[in-house]
Structure 1
């Protein structure tokens, strides 16, 4: 989509004064828009969908000439992105905030916005396309969260930590007209500015002319200036992988960006596996004379020796010596060879994406993913932890964006200080019990504090761990008291009477 729109959007930026005196947007280094990155996103998106024209439209020769067909796809781009997103974020993940009241409020807002479901879905898109964007905004007296894929967002400025300015691009059709909505998020003189523009076109590949927002967005303002906002209210998430296609770009890359050759080979092998059954079907060659109709001398009806509708039989003119001979030309299917080749390619793909070898296996029916637990030293677990760093940072920034919106629209006051952490589901690691044992040994040998051990085991903040430790000590003291009373040690010790003494 951006390949055709970027040139037009550059003109809009020029008129707005964001770009001055340049022919191409990429000539200005402060604005990190690279056409090639969006071309790559188009490729990743096509591979994720399972149909990339350059791979899957193929030709072959027949006796009647050249034919076209669509090559079969294993859709491993989708499988890998889904697997990674599921490993990292699921219903067992918890967002913890040191400010208890703020934590309850944030969790209510996220629950209202169906965060667990939507974030998990867009996280998969982010792994496939190299990024995704979350945005907090205020509408109908509620704080809401929206999501955008990497192909619908243009970064304008960034620092070492995050993208600070950008353009959200959305398109839709009404009748024969195509509309493009541009939402600019920029900083000017310390103020956070949101500008909205709507363009109308009769063609899909043109930005068109600017029209009034009232055409479709009657309640949308052309420009909103926020004086109180201190931080950007959108969050750009990208996989924790270095961008080796454009090292100057703040944009991320797909988790399978460097495995495209392997994905292409997988689809070629899988397509060949499917066609093995179609092209290797049983065929029996019979003489042309054998399929001719003959008259039954008793009934007088016309009959054939072979069923002419049976696709197994092929009629051919055979030499005199073999005129009466039937030839079975069935070939042996190379199923085992194909399965072995596909599994070898799957192991290469798993390595390139960051999974253990054997994560994906093909059994001749379909692809299966490993479900067993893995060691903390495994490649899958290390990759999972790498991406969790960026996921946690994105969630922390989203909480900050929600607080900014809440404070601006007087939903609730901005807390003076708070800490956000995410407890991820590490149940795929070979044993949570092994981690618990490890922490107990460290505490016992004086190599770690109980608070730090609790933080590691439960994924809590330091304050939450300290509170939990206090509760544990209180419960242990209560249990000890109850145990003493149970054995009669809480009162006077009973004296055993000697024989002959009165009780």
Structure 2
């Protein structure tokens, strides 16, 4: 199998060179070999997320082929937005502990926390992540890469949604090598030129066996947005951008990849994630088809009345007298039809719209969608009923709450990885000189106040502490979601405050103030 793959790669490299390094698709690059079905799935997800559907073709009463827009509910977007809002909000707190657990003395983690807070605030990380979680859940992935703006001496973030990130190498721990794609445009006269920058992140070994992190930049130019194009020099768009950059001292990739919780059952060998609706494609299509038919029936179901052509006559009569206008010319309800003298001159042929039948059909499909996406019954409704409140979600041990928690863990690990990457990058560029924290030294509090009753948690853990079942430090960690070092620091401050207001200490201080220290 490995030999066959090597032969394939050899042919790819040869074709790549002979074509003058022109890429039609991302898979034409010799370093990239992704299952085309995965790329097609991501592009399909993006089109549906955008609400981009092909028009509906139909034949009218005259036998002519016509087109109209396909009307959808865009539940891929709606479901992602609902879940994203439950997972993360801008009240989330990210803390790097500032004490050495082993030596129990201050160390550089405090500086690390200051740096992380500055970088995240500078990049409006919380706001951006809250927004990017929407396409992440809809499309199946998100990559964020920190980089250094040398002139400003600031660490910036580059964001890439699922169709702009491609894995090169992966293992059970995640993706180690990858490619980030970004597209910019230039107007040359009346022609729009598309430039695609491919940024390769790879691990390589030096002569002495040291692991080196190598970033390689390649720029491609095309006049067709669907084609990557021919390779051109970087300075056509990016002045001063080095073709290759080598960084030492990293323990993990600079890019951090977030994929929605759950196994990729559609392509089990792919390291890429699935969108939350990827196993519900047929249900989404059924809902959209039903809604489109409902919308068209409403449009076609306006009142229609056939009247005798004599009543809508617009020509003078035989005597030359001008016709008498019977109906308001702005009304489109009446249609002319030749009728005999003994027939009714007005026939109402309007039919009732099957509103309730369509609502029932859509709601039934929505129940199926909720089941497939592991969301609680009542999450979606087409009959105007309000959704459950967050309190109801928790009190009922709601399925949506459990599904939300699965995604929260993935986001938490993603944030911790990004914190480590920021600090390692800052250290490599001499913007930081302290120790790099591990995941255990990083706390992420998702502000679960709407999902977890903090007073109830405090009461529960307080009782456990009273009976000696749990230490105070652990209670602080679990209730307030802070690292162990921070909890220990809080406990120390609490003891100091209690010592200040202790009656015995107050009496001792008063005595000393009145009589002085005893010999």
TM-score w.r.t. the length of structure 2 is 0.81
Q: Deviations over 1:30-88 (max 9, x none)?
A: 976211101000011011111233xxx22222222232222111111111111222211
- Between 1:436-445 and 1:353-362, the stretch displaced more is 436-445
Match of 1:124 among 125, 134, 146: 134
Match of 2:298 among 277, 281, 284: 277
Alignment partners' CA distance in 2, 1:480 and 1:49: 63
Q: Deviations over 1:205-224 (max 9, x none)?
A: 44433222122212101111
Match of 2:115 among 105, 117, 129: 105
2:449: which partner in 1? 427
Q: Deviations over 1:229-252 (max 9, x none)?
A: 332111111001210111111110
Match of 1:450 among 466, 472, 476: 472
2:411: which partner in 1? 391
CA contact (8 A) 1:43 1:52 kept: no
Alignment partners' CA distance in 2, 1:328 and 1:63: 19
Alignment partners' CA distance in 2, 1:10 and 1:122: 34
Q: Tell me, what secondary structure is at the counterpart of 2:311?
A: helix
CA contact (8 A) 1:10 1:25 kept: no
Alignment partners' CA distance in 1, 2:408 and 2:435: 26
Residue 375, structure 1, aligned to residue 391, structure 2: no
Q: Tell me, what secondary structure is at the counterpart of 2:215?
A: strand
2:42: which partner in 1? 41
Match of 1:164 among 161, 176, 192: 176
2:195: which partner in 1? 179
Q: What 5-or-longer segments of structure 2 have no aligned partner?
A: 1-8, 18-25, 99-109, 206-210, 512-519
Alpha-carbon shift at residue 327 of structure 1 (Å)? 2.1
Alignment partners' CA distance in 2, 1:12 and 1:320: 83
Alpha-carbon shift at residue 480 of structure 1 (Å)? 5.1
**C-alpha spacing 1:159/1:123, structure 2 compared with 1 (3 Å):** same
**What is the aligned residue count?**
462
Aligned positions of 1:260-271 closer than 5 A: 260-271=281-292
2:70: which partner in 1? 71
Residue 51, structure 1, aligned to residue 46, structure 2: no
Q: Tell me, what secondary structure is at the counterpart of 1:361?
A: coil
2:376: which partner in 1? 356
Q: Tell me, what secondary structure is at the counterpart of 1:148?
A: strand
Aligned positions of 1:168-317 closer than 5 A: 168-174=180-186, 175=188, 176=191, 177-189=193-205, 190-292=211-313, 302-317=323-338
Q: Tell me, what secondary structure is at the counterpart of 1:147?
A: strand
**Backbone CA RMSD of aligned residues:** 3.1
Alpha-carbon shift at residue 295 of structure 1 (Å)? 8.5
1:439: which partner in 2? 461
**C-alpha spacing 1:416/1:173, structure 2 compared with 1 (3 Å):** closer
Residue 462, structure 1, aligned to residue 462, structure 2: no
Alignment partners' CA distance in 2, 1:314 and 1:270: 28
Alignment partners' CA distance in 2, 1:126 and 1:162: 17
1:60: which partner in 2? 58
2:20: which partner in 1? none
- Between 1:205-214 and 1:114-123, the stretch displaced more is 205-214
2:105: which partner in 1? none
1:501: which partner in 2? none
Alignment partners' CA distance in 2, 1:400 and 1:288: 80
2:23: which partner in 1? none
CA contact (8 A) 2:56 2:70 kept: yes
CA contact (8 A) 1:294 1:303 kept: no
CA contact (8 A) 1:404 1:414 kept: no
**C-alpha spacing 1:25/1:468, structure 2 compared with 1 (3 Å):** same
TM-score w.r.t. the length of structure 1 is 0.84
- Between 1:246-255 and 1:305-314, the stretch displaced more is 305-314
CA contact (8 A) 1:348 1:357 kept: no
